[in-house]
Amino acid sequence: MSKVVVITGAARGIGLATARALKAKGATIVIGDIDEAAVKEAAESLGVTGLAVDVTSRESFTAFLDRAEEAAGPPDVVINNAGIMPIGPVTDESDADAHRCVDINLHGVMLGTKLALGRMLPRGSGHIINVASLAGVMFTPGLALYNASKAAVIAFTEATRLEVRDRGVHVSAVLPTFTNTDLVAGTSSPKGQRNCEPEDIAAAVVELIGRPRPQVVVPKKLGRQARLGALLPDRVRRAVARRYGLDKIFLEYDPEVRKAYDARIRTGS
């Protein structure tokens, strides 16, 4: 794969796994993250370029893309992966958490998409991949803020795709289910289900770059379940949620296990 790929939120988790998978396919990789020390360490371990970036800042994001292009060439693929996931009762979510979640998860994706389009549309080629979530179409108690941000990412991505689809640039959304990263620290898996691993999402992204499509759900079977679930009466959806424990997963969690992650997403490191 002789492509230049730029990935945000890639010091760990899905972003790092995606960088590793794409490098193994021969792509030239530049990773970015707000945690400068972590992204440099991750980049050194992979043998790629790692740069600090604050996806909520136009100045920082523009500088990141400029430096990425200087290091590796014009990006063929930009993957907007940076995101955070505060959890708990909606009445306990602080205004600061709400602003930060929307700023990173939504505005960061919108900004990254617009900046990438500014580089790709003039040359009539490129692929923008926005990492959303199944949480954007399947809603869960204790996850209202994250649900809202990811639903908006899905809507923004699709509207943008429709706007530029005849101009040579692909725009896609990836919707992972629960994935074993720091985002789900202190929570349990749905009953009888296995969380995805970051490598599962990375494999889907590799496939998506090879065969661009508007949207990919990981795992694929949950895409069908989500579409069917939306057609069910509310009482049936509630019964299903209780059966799998989805009504309590993000309300009854271990705050001690989650403490380090919560501190990191609030301090931006």
Tens of pLDDT, residue by residue over 23-60, are 999 999 999 999 999 999 999 999 999 999 999 999 99
Instruction: Report which of residues 220 and 161 the model is more confident about.
Output: 161
Answer whether the bond into residue 219 is a cis peptide, omega within 30°.
Answer: yes
Q: How confident is the model over 165-181, as a mean pLDDT?
A: 97
For the stretch 84-133, pLDDT in tens is 999 999 999 999 999 999 999 999 999 999 999 999 999 999 999 999 99
Distance CA 115, CA 56 (A): 12
Q: What percent of the chain has pLDDT over 90?
A: 86
Distance CA 230, CA 190 (A): 19
- Residue 50: phi and psi, rounded to 5, are -125, 130
- pLDDT tier, 269 (very low <50, low <70, confident <90, very high otherwise): low
Q: What percent of the chain has pLDDT over 70?
A: 100
Structure tokens, 69 = 């292009």
Domain count, the chain: 1
Domain hosting 54: range is 4-267
Tally of CB atoms within 10 A around 149: 27
What local confidence, expressed as pLDDT, does residue 1 receive?
Answer: 75
Per-residue DSSP letter, 179: B
CA-to-CA dists, residue 24 to 14, 46, 206, angstroms: 15, 10, 10
- Domain CATH number, residue 33: 3.40.50.720
Average pLDDT, the chain: 95
Structure tokens, 53 = 């970036």
Q: Which residues contact 160 (CB under 8 A, 6 or more apart)?
A: 113, 117, 128, 171
Among this protein's residues, is 253 annotated catalytic?
no
Catalytic: which of 146, 244, 253, 261? 146
> Percentages helix, strand, coil for the chain, rounded to the nearest 5?
55, 15, 30
